[in-house]
Structures are given as structure tokens and as C-alpha cells.
Amino acid sequence: MFLAGFDWESIPASERDHFPRPIINLVQGLSHSDPQDVKFGFLGHRAIRICCSPEIADALRATRWVNGPIFTIPNGIDMRLLPVPAPRAARQFDLLIAGLKAPRLAGELACALNLLYPSMRLSSLTEPLPRSAFLEALSTARTALLLPQPKEGFYLPALEAMMLRTIVLCLDVGGNRSFCRDGETAIVPPQYDLSALMAAVKRAIALDEYAREALITRAAAIAGSYCLSRERAAFHNILNEIHQIW
């Protein structure tokens, strides 16, 4: 039985701890570890839990409430969907703001940046796009300012931007800590507000050519390890040993 989120409710409460088949529970968000969240109550039911980031796994272990083993299988990038990265000099925009999850803040940033840098070629995305169009937009920008939710269990767009050799500016949202490392693979603002994000943009602009290329190269190397084949192999390993694990 494969479950995620509120799928637990598809099993009668009286059967959840005595289910006749192994249960694999995919945990994709940090909210599962919050005692105030309804999903926290599901942690006491026996299951093999697969977390999509090490940060989620650590948060679950810290609750001391999890019934069953915990595995981490990070999300993978479907490399086949990524466009070919354009040379930096040929990119259409200096900065892309990916603001679907924070449209008001994205608008404030765009206005402030237009005033401060009137010659900046700026694109702001605040409406849903087909996946292929979003990836194409990332590949046409020299730098991407990503605005996720304040707490995320993973955050795939940051990795996709890294693979497209776009400089990433992204807040620490919990589940992206293993790959969004300030000064190493990305620029990570200390706070989720206008002034901190503006300061992050200024840091990106101030990078010299050597520092910029080093950041891009390190980021692409880390992002390249998050592939679907690796995710698939790790999942199959659990399936192959499921009766011993269960």
C-alpha cells in the first residue's frame, strides 16, 4: 500500500496498525513533524517512510513519534525535460523572479529593482506556466530569484535552475539546505523580506566573472547528482527488501 499526506484516511482507523500488507508512506513536507498538524497523528501508525529530503527525515526522527523505519530518497530531476543551457552572453534576461508562490512580494521586488537598476532586463513570473515554459524561462535568465513557500520539504526549481547554469538566489526553506548553500552553490538571503532579497540581488550583481563561474560550476555539479535514475534505484532497493524491512 502506497500512501502520501492524507491518504491514511483511505484506511479505516481500526486497521491502520494491523494492515495485512506493507505500507510505504511518502513524506514530502515538513508539516508532518508539526504536532499542530493533522498529519502528525499519522506518524504513530506503522509504515515504511520515505522522505524526499534529509531535512524531513531529521524532523521526523526528532519527534520520537514515528512508528517504523525512515529512509531518505531525495527528489530527482528529469534531465530529459531541461532545455540546453544558453551561453551567458546570449541570455535574454539579467534576472528572473519566480514569484508564483509570493506574487505580491514579486511585484514589490520588480518595482524596487526597476527603480534601482533601470537598465536591468527583468522578467517576473507570477502566473502558472506549463512546466516546459517555466524551464525555458529559467534557461533564458542569467540569475533566478526564486520565491518558494517559507517552509518546503524539498524545492526542485532551485536544482533545475542550477542544472541550467543559472545563478540561484533562494531562501533557506528547510528542505533545500542540502543543495542551497550560501556562497557555495547559491546566494541565500537571511530573511524572507524585501530588503534581504534586494541585498541578495546586489550580491549577485557584484560577483566578478571568476566567482560567478565558480558558483555556477559547483551548483551544476551538485544538481547533477539529483537524477531520476538514482531516485528510482533507491526506491527499488526498498521494494526488493520490503519483507525484511517490514
| Percent of the chain residues past pLDDT 70, beyond the cut | 100
Helix (H, G, I), strand (E, B) or coil at 167: strand
What single-letter DSSP state applies at residue 51? E
Return the beta strands (E) in the chain as ranges: 2-4, 24-27, 48-51, 70-72, 93-98, 122-125, 141-146, 167-170
Mean pLDDT of 31-36: 96
Report the alpha-carbon distance of residue 212 to residue 207 in Å, rounded: 6
Cell triple for residue 212?
A: 560567478
Query: Domains in the chain, start-ordered, CATH in brackets?
Result: 2-74+227-245 (no CATH), 79-223 (3.40.50.2000)
Cell triple for residue 100?
A: 508564483
pLDDT band at 85, cuts 50/70/90? very high
pLDDT band at 47, cuts 50/70/90? very high
Strand partners, 93: 141
226 backbone dihedrals φ, ψ, rounded to 5°: -95, 75
Q: What is the pLDDT of residues 90-116, one digit of tens each?
A: 999 999 999 999 999 999 999 999 999
Residue with cell 524532523: 59
Q: What is the pLDDT of residues 139-194, one digit of tens each?
A: 999 999 999 999 999 999 999 999 999 999 999 999 999 999 999 999 999 999 99
Residue 119 contacts by C-beta under 8 Å, 6 or more apart in sequence? none
- Is 90 exceeded by the pLDDT of residue 17? no
Mean pLDDT of the chain: 96
Distances (CA, A) of 109 to 4, 54, 93, 97: 35, 31, 16, 8
- Is 90 exceeded by the pLDDT of residue 6? yes
Comparing CA positions, the residue from 201, 193, 194, 222 lying closest to residue 143 is 201
